[in-house]
Structure 1
Amino acid sequence: MPRLLLVLLGCALIPTPGIGQDFRPIPLQSQITRVQPWTGLVLWDTSESVKTDAVSLEFRYFAYSEIVTAKDTFDWSPVERFLAGAAARGHQGVLRFYFDYPGKPSGAPKYLNDLPDYRPITGKSEGKRTGFADWSHPELKRMTLDFYTQFARKFDRDPRLAYLETGFGLWAEYHIYDGPMKLGQTFPDKAFQRDFFKHLSNQFERTPWLMSIDVAAEARTPLAEESELLNLPFGQFDDSFLGKDHAKWNAKNWKFLGLDRWKTQPRGGEFSYYSDHDQKMALAPNGPHGIAFETLAREYHLSFIIANDQPKYQPLSRIAEAGKALGYRLQVTQFASNGTHARVEITNTGIAPPFHDAYVALDGVRAKQSLRGLLPGEKRTYVLRTTSAAPKLTIESDRLVPGQRIEFQADLPGQQ
């Protein structure tokens, strides 16, 4: 059964004379016409197809060395350019910083590599010469924690940023599946990982941060040994979504991290690259392995998924259609006024809650309580002061860039 929550906003949370009496329906018609902010399929900022309203999010990797130019010295201009470029296209950013990337030097800052006792390892990953950071060195650990302190201080409330993805290993996806995997050397020890998780939890107040579902791996992470770490506020992303063995391997990690975590923290992902077939058929009616994308996305309550290769295989209309199936979807089910107040009932018909603050507003005056966290099937009723017989109803947020708007469904005929 849908849950109903009465939220009295614009007035005290106590019975008020006149409220609840003689409310008359106000006609309201509205449609959701585009992918909603903070949701949908994600293209890299370098994609030839990125200038489109079929997506609302753009993705980019950064090496830490692009930002940290010397000890305690940060040049955020690459991040600024990425976010500014996305915002100019009416999109928001999803970004991830890495130390290890197949075929590239280590992403550790140069000043670390210049230290006489810092010993990075060069090995092969995916058949390519690859640099790996030296996690035995205390300065790398100190720098990493400070990096996120400084990043949060600058970008935590930035409306151009939707989500931060983070982690260690190849692509920061919490594994070194091919290459020299050595805990405490090429991969941080469990004690530091624990410190890292707690540190990020204390730094970010507004920006959701996510880690790969491979963080569930008992052999290389502390989560199985210290279950209280699962209470920390991190989301998850699945970097091989719709892969052939998804039900065998990925599903176990999702389960370990908490089947209800989606109710409070976002879930994202990336279409599987295990084979060209996985990419080519990702948005086919039955997916690459017999399960439609929308079906599995609904099962796992995804808000977004990286889909950079999809313009090769699908028209932008299909990419938009798939994107609109993700995340939240707001519907106004009641809109009425008694001359001094208006009552708005709103529900979420999507598959996940919104993970940024958004507010019901009448003629530009916002309710005090956010819609953030409104679960699928949940209903909330807001009562706001208004003297207008037909106030303009909108959903407003400070976490939007120019050109974005939060839409809602409504088909209310008004007084019969």
Structure 2
Amino acid sequence: DTDADTDADTDADTDIEPEPAFVLTFELDLARADGNPLSGFFTSYQWAEPVTDMPESLEYVIVPLADMMIGPDDFSFASGLEPYLLAAEARGNQVVLRPYIDYPSLPSGLPTYLEGQVDQFAYSDFGGGWSPDYTDPALRAAMDAFIAALGDQYDGDPRIGVVQLGLLGFWGEWHTWPHSEWFPDVSIQNDVLHAYHDAFASTLLQVRIPTGDSPSLRIGFHDDSFAYSTVGDVPWFFVPLLEAAEADARWTEVPVGGELRPELQDQVFDASYEEGEFQQDFDACVQATHASFLLNFHAFSGIYDPEEQARARESARMMGYAYHLERAVLEAGTLTLSIENHGVAPFYQPLQVTLSDGHGASVSAEVPPVLPEMPAAVSLDATSLDAPGEGEPWALRLHSDAVLPAAMVRWATVPADGPLRFE
């Protein structure tokens, strides 16, 4: 009987699960993620130097095709593009790049070697300009060659955060309104879409509207009349266009961005702002589109008073991702992280989390795209690390090869004392 009792006690003891080494919970702090890569407001240093402390990680750069292409197979990226990339990197920013051929009020961006060969149509709208004949075989060949060369040279270069396809239409915004007859048909649009898709496997891409095959490609969208014609029942507004193309859920895989409509930039964060069909609620537009980043020159220009600047900063925090470490559990040598996204969109590029001990050893794991209201669990095998001790806590950091080496992807989490600290 004694032996049986002993065996029973032993079996019962082995069924008891060991207690976790630690269970930690953390508080949310959205402000700590201000200025995270690939999110929030950005400006253009081509227009003016910022005079405010609005957090930024991106800057907008427009470059005429003529500055980057001097012959059918001859490209001048070193002089036409590199200076912008180097300057942005020195400021800690990635570039949102838009190449253009026709930008109203600016000289034609048609490569010099095509002048006199490709027809151009003069117009006076929007400050005037020259719209090229996009059906011309020489121009089509030039665009194909440029896109392939740009991708070959710069796909995966962390200095470029996003390439907006540009090239077609006024401002590279894929329309020539009110001269719609000048805009190329969908077959030419698809040629450009597929050329970019084939040339870029890593760098994020965006096109102005969900046209042609774009909803099925690795290409996001940019609404350049944000909060002016974003939501509503008008068919040509941005969200109705997405819905009509069955692209309204593409934000889960590709980014949405654009520009806060220039006429609204000095109004939308004023307490007296009145909503209407063409003066829409900014935060509601962010929620509807799941926008990650937006051009907003006025947020950096000093035009906002302190209250407007504070409201703009709060709205910027809504955009993109905000990864919060809600819980961390160490059990049987495995650290399991519960990650919540308190933004409106995921981080679209590959992301890693690294756990380091006090002596330099580390382990890493991939972090999947975390959608809002869909927490993710990430596990790290910590058995090779020294246990965290007094004065030597483990350090946990997020990082991505798709952002600048010096950039930090910060947790939207209040740092806490204890065995786990954030970098």
Global fold match (TM > 0.5): yes
- State the alpha-carbon separation in 1 of the partners of residues 230 and 398 from structure 2: 40
**What does residue 256 of structure 1 align with?**
244
Residue 398 of structure 1 corresponds to 401
1:322 maps onto 2:324 in alignment: no
Partner residue of 1:193 out of 189, 195, 201:
189
Tell me what 2:294 maps to. Answer: 305
CA–CA distance in 2 between the matches of 1:289 and 1:356?
35
**1:342 equivalenced with 2:343 (yes/no):** no
1:99 to 95, 101, 104: 101
Letter in 2 for 1:307: N
Distance 1:113 1:65, change over 3 A: same
Change (3 A) 1:95 1:335: same
Q: Call closer, same or farther: CA 1:35–1:286 in 2, change over 3 Å.
A: farther
Equivalent position amino acid for 2:269 in 1 = L
Aligned to 1:22: 19
**Amino acid in structure 2 at the alignment position of 1:93:** V
Per-residue Cα deviation, 1:277-334 (whole angstroms, up to 9, x for no partner) = x222122357552643222212210001110133343255544333222100001122
Which residue of the partner structure matches residue 111 of structure 2?
A: 109
Pick aligned residue for 1:284 from 249, 270, 295: 270
**8 Å CA contact retained: 2:206, 2:222:** yes
Query: Aligned-pair distance for 1:59?
Result: 0.2
Residue aligning to 1:59: 60
1:39 partner amino acid: S
1:369 is matched with which residue: 366, 371, 389?
A: 366
**2 CA distance for matches of 1:319 and 1:62?**
28
The alpha-carbon distance between structure 1 residues 104 and 409, as it changes in their structure 2 partners (threshold 3 A), is closer
CA contact under 8 A between 2:120 and 2:133: conserved in structure 1? Answer: yes
SS of the aligned residue for 2:315 comes to helix
**Corresponding letter in the other structure for 1:100:** D
Which is higher, the Rg of structure 1 or of structure 2? 2
Indicate conservation of the 8 Å contact 1:271/1:282, yes or no. Answer: no
Distance 1:156 1:285, change over 3 A: farther
Corresponding residue for 1:4?
none
CA contact (8 A) 2:144 2:195 kept: yes
Give the corresponding residue for 1:74: 75
**What residue is the counterpart of 1:139 in the other structure?**
138
Judged with a 3 Å threshold, the aligned counterparts in structure 2 of structure 1 residues 244 and 195 are, in CA distance, closer, same or farther, namely closer
Change in CA separation of 1:199 and 1:256 when aligned onto 2, cut-off 3 Å? same
Unaligned 5+ segments in structure 2 are 1-16
The alpha-carbon distance between structure 1 residues 370 and 147, as it changes in their structure 2 partners (threshold 3 A), is farther
Matches within 5 A, 1:37-52: 37-46=37-46, 47-49=48-50, 52=53
State how far apart, in whole Å, the 2-side matches of 1:326 and 1:286 are. 23
Pick aligned residue for 1:294 from 283, 292, 297: 283
Which residue does the alignment assign to 1:219?
none
Q: Secondary structure at the match of 1:320?
A: helix
Percent of residue pairs bearing the same amino acid type: 24
Deviation at 1:50, TM superposition (A): 6.7
CA change 1:53–1:304 in 2 (3 A) is same
Structure having greater relative contact order (Cα 8 Å, sep ≥ 6)? 1
- How many angstroms does 1:60 deviate by? 1.3
1:328 touches 1:348 (CA, 8 Å); kept in 2? yes
Aligned partners of 1:69, 1:375: CA distance in 2, in Å? 44
Partner of 1:174 in structure 2? 174
The superposition leaves residues 337-386 of structure 1 with CA deviations (integer Å, 9 ceiling, x where unpaired) of: 23632221212111001111111110174534243x22112222222122
Structure 1 runs not aligned, ≥5 long: 1-19, 217-222
Equivalence for 1:17:
none
- What secondary structure sits across from 1:252 in the alignment? helix
2:227 is aligned with 1:242: yes
Aligned length: 374
Which residue of structure 2 aligns with residue 360 of structure 1? Answer: 353
CA contact (8 A) 2:365 2:378 kept: no
Retained in 2: the 8 A contact 1:164–1:210?
Answer: yes
The alpha-carbon deviation at position 256 of structure 1 amounts to: 2.1
Contact 2:321 2:343 (8 Å CA) reproduced: yes
Could you tell me how far apart the structure 2 residues matched to 1:410 and 1:105 are?
48
Structure 2 Cα separation of the partners of residues 287 and 79 of structure 1: 39
Superposed, 1:119-158 pairs within 5 Å as: 119-126=119-126, 128-158=127-157
Aligned counterparts of 1:409 and 1:104: Cα–Cα separation in 2: 41
Change (3 A) 1:45 1:366: farther
Distance, in Å, in 1 between the alignment partners of 2:271 and 2:285 is 12
**Are the aligned partners of 1:242 and 1:289 in contact in 2 as well (CA < 8 Å)?**
no
* Partners of 2:51 and 2:406 in 1: CA distance: 15
Quickly say closer, same or farther: Cα 1:35–1:321, change in 2 above 3 A. Answer: farther
